[in-house]
């Protein structure tokens, strides 16, 4: 054969291809062996949503925080001393904070009397058109097929663009290491988060994959929180929407939030 | 050459600094640490050789499948089913993190960040009811 | 050519030493922040962007202002700017470096910063911000350095620099348009949701950058052998005048829309910064200072006698720069979050470590600028400029 530079380069190129073949074969060989399945008892839905029946909330005594406590306990949510570092996934707030702009001095009697002025639970709305997902530069927050807006804590860089984008203030950054501030008993089945990542309600996807309802829904003694699949015409949430007028938070922004409130 | 004295001395100092780790450890053999597996189980999620070489890739894949693809169950090449969870499945058998995971990681100077968030098994066999508020490992 | 930055008189080295000290203290505080978390700053759950992102926002405008020298010189043959286009390009390099540094110090998990490259997300404005900022930095470093090296050799720069220069003109506009789009596309923040956000950024960029350049040129005229020429300075001053007027006009337009439509979601933020809201008003002194300084600057700049005067022009430029620095570097970002989407108010106070880190990044940028200007001036002193 000719000993030219061209020949040398051709042989070198073929050798590189040859060396590269082995890892490719290895990778292909592995993929046939392992399989990944959803949980065997997982709840399956096409569009998860929640209905908050504020009238049912009345039956619990004032200062009831069962939904908040359950969620924060199950997910190892920290309780920081400094209010500016606060992390919360679900919390209770007054009518004019949950629905700013709706308050009206003539119409507030209903809220004060019939609803006894009790606070409203507010959480991530798992919007159908979420602005937080639109802005995340690394897809650390993303919308699942079944509607849940998820957080990938492994990928989050802590830029907080999602916190700016959320019109509902649903997201919290871990301004400090949360572990020393987990005041509830540690739930060993769920991880904590590290400092510098954003977290929020995840519709208890880890419980759904085991066939359980979200923690807040289970914890409400008066069954004031109802969770279900909006695409299932026979689900409890659809039934409630058929029978009751509902409002959502800031629907005019086009986010299509999926937490409905029955006043 | 100009400044030959300074340059040759400089080269010698450079070589001494660069080769210092090699010369310091010359003649010593490095023994891999002995790991306490933590369980009597003979079979891990995958064959042991694979786990030794690729448990990092396995965990990465599990992470993406659980968080990003909504999966939960892993059917391994042995045919058994496992819940894809570092802190619920792996640590069920490997109960002593410092005698298993940490020994090898310290030996190869790897510091995986998993335990910043994923809860390691308790260092002592404490009662489950005990309140645990632990500092993270960095 | 960098070796020219290693020689200088006592004041030069004294200045560099001061900058290095501020940089070192800032760096130590950054290490503290890495250990403690971003909680060491004054940012909170409600006001999740603060001084760092504010400074980044302001500096993006300063960086883009290089185009105000490049455009007249290269596109319209305005030879008067020949001596100082390089100063604008080097200012852009220092500013963009500061911008990127502010973003890095603001990240909660900076070790994961490369995720933006590993998982590109074209629907995210932050992704494009990363692209355009790094691109602009690269463009200005290459253009500035090549042109300077050519000047040193007494030859015209190589031909491939021209297309890069032409690209840098729309690219400069893109960097602050994209940065404005970070804010202007968020549905939940009424203060930022305005079409005039990007034009406002352009206006304040073309006022603050050239104002700073004028101050630099006048300083260099007095203390070094470099004379940009009074005509160049006057043209820059006219640019600052018009840009300042346009910036203020845009803000007045905002005030009209907000106060005539009376929509609370938009109005409440302006109420907060001008008049205070529900007893909270720690931004009021800043807002009024910025407003007054802006009008003082316009007053001094509109009048040709004060614009042409060597004593009043620097005052006008400093007033313009400070007014815009307050407005873009602080008020814009914080007010977007106050009141929150739930109409609660959490006030923001930067903490000492936060301010120190900010000063450290500024010191880094000014140090880079000092070194680049020292190199540029040393080369220019010994060379003959060839128009290109």
Q: How confident is the model at residue C318 (pLDDT cuts 50, 70, 90)?
A: very high
User: ipTM of this predicted complex?
Assistant: 0.93
How confident is the prediction for chain A on average, in pLDDT?
A: 91
Task: Give the closest of A97, A131, A158 to C187, CB-based.
Answer: A131
How far A101 CA sits from the closest chain C CA (Å)? 8
pLDDT at A29 over 80: no
Angle formed at CA A94 by CA A93 and CA A95, multiple of 5 degrees: 125
Among A104-108, C74-78, C194-198, C288-292, which stretch is predicted with the lowest mean pLDDT? A104-108
Decide if C208 contacts C61 (C-beta within 8 A). yes
pLDDT cut 90: percent of chain C above it: 90
How far A210 CA sits from the closest chain B CA (Å)? 9
How far A40 CA sits from the closest chain C CA (Å)? 31
In a domain, B81, yes or no: yes
Rounded Cα–Cα distance for residues A177 and C366 (Å): 34
Select from A159, A160, A194 the residue whose CB has the most chain C CBs within 10 Å, as the one to mutate to test that interface: A159
- Whether a cis peptide bond, with omega within 30° of 0, leads into C339 is yes
Residue C1: how many CB atoms within 10 A of its CB?
13
Q: For the segment C327-354, what is each residue's pLDDT rounded down to a tens digit?
A: 999 999 999 999 999 999 999 999 999 9
Decide if C379 contacts C152 (C-beta within 8 A). yes
User: Taking CA atoms, what residue in B is nearest to A183?
Assistant: B133
Decide if C58 contacts C349 (C-beta within 8 A). no
User: Taking CA atoms, what residue in A is nearest to C184?
Assistant: A165
CB contact under 8 A, C107 and A254: no
Please report, in angstroms and rounded to a whole number, the separation of the first and last CA atoms in chain A.
Answer: 88
* Domain interval for residue B103: 48-117
Q: Is A154 on the interface with B (CB under 8 A)?
A: yes
Region B61-67: mean pLDDT is 94
Q: For the segment C212-227, what is each residue's pLDDT rounded down to a tens digit?
A: 999 999 999 998 889 9
pTM of the model: 0.90
Number of domains in chain B: 1
Task: Give the closest of C37, C43, C110 to A177, CB-based.
Answer: C37
Output the pLDDT for position B123.
75
Region C6-29: mean pLDDT is 95
Select from A72, A153, A154, A198 the residue whose CB has the most chain B CBs within 10 Å, as the one to mutate to test that interface: A154
Q: For the segment A66-102, what is each residue's pLDDT rounded down to a tens digit?
A: 999 999 999 999 999 999 999 999 999 999 999 998 8
Residues 6+ apart with CB under 8 A from A15: none
CB contact under 8 A, C121 and A195: no
pLDDT at C64 over 60: yes
Select from A83, A135, A137, A158 the residue whose CB has the most chain C CBs within 10 Å, as the one to mutate to test that interface: A137
Q: How confident is the model at residue B137 (pLDDT cuts 50, 70, 90)?
A: very low
Q: Which chains touch A (3 or more CB pairs under 8 A)?
A: B, C
Q: Is C36 on the interface with A (CB under 8 A)?
A: yes
In a domain, C388, yes or no: no
Output the pLDDT for position C208.
95
Report the relative pairing of strands A48-53 and A90-93 from DSSP bridges.
unpaired
- The string of DSSP codes covering C197-220 is HHHHHHHHHHHHHHHHHHHHHHHH
Output the pLDDT for position B57.
93
User: Taking CA atoms, what residue in B is nearest to A181?
Assistant: B133
What's the CATH number where C357 sits?
A: 1.20.1630.10
Q: For the segment B3-19, what is each residue's pLDDT rounded down to a tens digit?
A: 899 999 999 999 999 99
In a domain, B122, yes or no: no
Angle formed by the axes of helices C197-223 and C51-64, nearest 10°:
70
* Domain interval for residue C46: 2-382
User: Taking CA atoms, what residue in A is nearest to C43?
Assistant: A84
Q: Which chains touch C (3 or more CB pairs under 8 A)?
A: A
Residue A256: how many CB atoms within 10 A of its CB?
14
Number of domains in chain C: 1
How far B97 CA sits from the closest chain A CA (Å)? 15
CB contact under 8 A, A157 and C346: no
Region B35-56: mean pLDDT is 87
Q: For the segment C253-295, what is each residue's pLDDT rounded down to a tens digit?
A: 999 999 999 999 899 999 999 999 998 999 999 999 999 999 9
In a domain, C164, yes or no: yes
Output the pLDDT for position A26.
62
Rounded Cα–Cα distance for residues B96 and B123 (Å): 7
Rounded Cα–Cα distance for residues C134 and C178 (Å): 13
Residues of A in contact with C49 (CB under 8 A): 160, 164
Select from A134, A152, A175, A250 the residue whose CB has the most chain C CBs within 10 Å, as the one to mutate to test that interface: A175
C51: nearest Cα among C103, C112, C109, C93: C103
Q: Is B77 on the interface with A (CB under 8 A)?
A: yes
Output the pLDDT for position B78.
86
Q: Is B42 on the interface with A (CB under 8 A)?
A: no
Output the pLDDT for position C386.
63
Q: What tokens were used for B11?
A: 């080269």
What is the helix (H) or strand (E) element at residue C296, kind and residue range?
Answer: helix C284-302
**How many residue pairs from chains A and C have C-beta atoms closer than 8 A?**
152
B93 burial level (CB within 10 Å; 0-12, 13-18, 19+)? middle
How confident is the prediction for chain C on average, in pLDDT?
A: 94
In a domain, B13, yes or no: no
Helix (H, G, I), strand (E, B) or coil at C62: helix
Q: How confident is the model at residue B38 (pLDDT cuts 50, 70, 90)?
A: confident
pLDDT at C50 over 50: yes
CB contact under 8 A, A174 and C37: yes
- The string of DSSP codes covering chain A is ----HHHHHHHHHHHHHHHHHHHHHHHHHHHTT-EEE--TT----SSEEEEEEHHHHTTSPTT--HHHHHHHHHTT----SSGGG---SEEEE-HHHHSTT---TTTHHIIIIITTTPPEEEE----SS-HHHHH-TT-SEEE-TTS-EEE-TTT-----HHHHH-TT---EE--S-SGGG--SPP-TTS----TT-EE---TTHHHHTTT---HHHHH-TT--EEEEETT-TTSHHHHHHHHS--B-SSGGGS----EEEE-
Region C171-176: mean pLDDT is 94
Output the pLDDT for position B134.
41
Q: What tokens were used for B2?
A: 């100009």
CB contact under 8 A, C124 and A198: no
Which of A3-17, A147-161, B17-31 is modeled with the greatest confidence?
A147-161
Q: Is B126 on the interface with A (CB under 8 A)?
A: no
Residues of A in contact with B60 (CB under 8 A): none
In a domain, B126, yes or no: no
For residue C112, the 8-state DSSP code is G
């Amino acid at each position: 054969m000719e000993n030219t530079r061209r020949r040398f380069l051709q042989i070198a190129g073929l050798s590189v291809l040859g060396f590269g073949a082995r890892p490719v074969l290895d990778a292909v060989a592995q993929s046939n062996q392992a399989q990944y399945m959803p949980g065997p008892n997982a709840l399956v839905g096409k569009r998860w949503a929640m209905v908050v029946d504020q009238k049912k909330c009345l039956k619990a005594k004032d200062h009831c925080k069962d939904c908040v406590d359950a969620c924060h306990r199950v997910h190892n949510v920290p309780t920081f001393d400094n209010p500016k570092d606060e992390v919360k996934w679900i919390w209770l707030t007054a009518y004019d904070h949950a629905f700013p702009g709706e308050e009206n001095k003539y119409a507030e009697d209903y809220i004060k009397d019939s609803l006894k002025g009790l606070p409203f639970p507010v959480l991530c709305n798992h919007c159908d058109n979420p602005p937080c997902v639109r802005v995340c530069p690394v897809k650390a927050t993303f919308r699942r097929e079944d509607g849940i807006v998820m957080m990938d804590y492994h990928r989050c860089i802590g830029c907080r663009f999602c916190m700016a984008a959320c019109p509902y203030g649903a997201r919290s950054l871990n301004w400090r290491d949360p572990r020393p501030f987990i005041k509830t008993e540690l739930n060993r089945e769920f991880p904590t988060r590290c400092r510098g990542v954003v977290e929020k309600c995840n519709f208890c996807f880890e419980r759904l994959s085991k066939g359980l309802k979200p923690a807040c829904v289970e914890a409400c003694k008066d069954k004031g929180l109802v969770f279900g699949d909006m695409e299932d015409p026979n689900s409890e949430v659809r039934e409630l929407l058929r029978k009751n007028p509902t409002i959502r938070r800031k629907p005019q922004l086009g986010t299509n939030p999926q937490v409905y409130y029955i006043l | 050459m100009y400044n030959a004295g300074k340059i040759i001395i400089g080269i010698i100092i450079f070589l001494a600094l660069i080769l210092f780790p090699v010369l310091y450890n010359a003649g010593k053999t490095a023994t891999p640490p002995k790991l306490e597996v933590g369980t009597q189980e003979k079979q891990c999620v995958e064959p042991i050789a694979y786990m030794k070489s690729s448990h990092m890739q396995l965990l990465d894949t599990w992470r993406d499948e659980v968080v990003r693809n909504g999966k939960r169950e892993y059917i391994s090449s042995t045919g058994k089913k496992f819940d894809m969870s570092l802190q619920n499945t792996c640590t069920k058998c490997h109960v002593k993190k410092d005698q298993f995971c940490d020994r090898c990681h310290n030996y190869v100077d790897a510091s995986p960040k998993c335990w910043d968030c994923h809860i390691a098994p308790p260092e002592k066999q404490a009662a489950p009811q005990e309140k645990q508020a632990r500092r993270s490992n960095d | 050519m960098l070796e020219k930055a290693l020689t200088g008189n006592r004041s030069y080295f004294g200045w560099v030493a001061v900058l290095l000290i501020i940089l070192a203290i800032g760096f130590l505080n950054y290490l503290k922040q890495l250990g403690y978390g971003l909680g060491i700053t004054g940012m909170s759950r409600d006001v999740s962007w603060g001084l760092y992102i504010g400074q980044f926002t302001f500096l993006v405008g300063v960086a883009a202002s290089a185009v105000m020298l490049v455009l007249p010189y290269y596109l319209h043959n305005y030879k008067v700017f020949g001596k100082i286009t390089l100063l604008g390009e080097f200012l852009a390099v220092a500013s963009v470096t500061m911008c990127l540094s502010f973003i890095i110090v603001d990240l909660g998990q900076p070790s994961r910063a490369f995720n933006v490259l590993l998982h590109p997300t074209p629907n995210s404005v932050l992704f494009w911000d990363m692209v355009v900022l790094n691109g602009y930095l690269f463009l200005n470093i290459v253009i500035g350095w090549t042109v300077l090296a050519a000047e040193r050799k007494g030859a015209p720069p190589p031909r491939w620099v021209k297309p890069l220069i032409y690209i840098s003109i729309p690219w400069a506009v893109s960097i602050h348009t994209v940065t404005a789009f970070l804010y202007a596309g968020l549905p939940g923040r009424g203060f930022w949701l305005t079409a005039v956000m990007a034009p406002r950024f352009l206006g304040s960029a073309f006022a603050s950058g050239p104002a700073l350049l004028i101050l630099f040129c006048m300083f260099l005229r007095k203390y070094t052998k470099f004379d940009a020429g009074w005509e160049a300075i006057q043209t820059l001053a006219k640019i600052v005048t018009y840009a300042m007027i346009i910036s203020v006009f845009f803000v007045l337009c905002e005030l009209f829309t907000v106060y005539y439509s009376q929509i609370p979601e938009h109005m409440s933020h302006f109420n907060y910064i001008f008049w205070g809201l529900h007893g909270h008003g720690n931004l009021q002194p800043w807002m009024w200072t910025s407003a007054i300084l802006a009008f003082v600057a316009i007053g001094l700049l509109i009048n040709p006698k004060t614009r042409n005067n060597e004593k009043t022009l620097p005052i006008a430029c400093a007033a313009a720069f400070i007014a815009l620095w307050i407005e873009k570097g602080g008020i814009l970002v914080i007010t977007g979050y106050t009141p929150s989407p739930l109409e609660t108010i959490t006030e923001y106070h930067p903490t000492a470590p936060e301010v120190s880190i900010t000063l450290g990044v500024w010191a880094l940028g000014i140090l880079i600028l000092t070194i680049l200007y020292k190199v540029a001036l040393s080369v220019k002193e010994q060379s003959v400029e060839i128009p290109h």
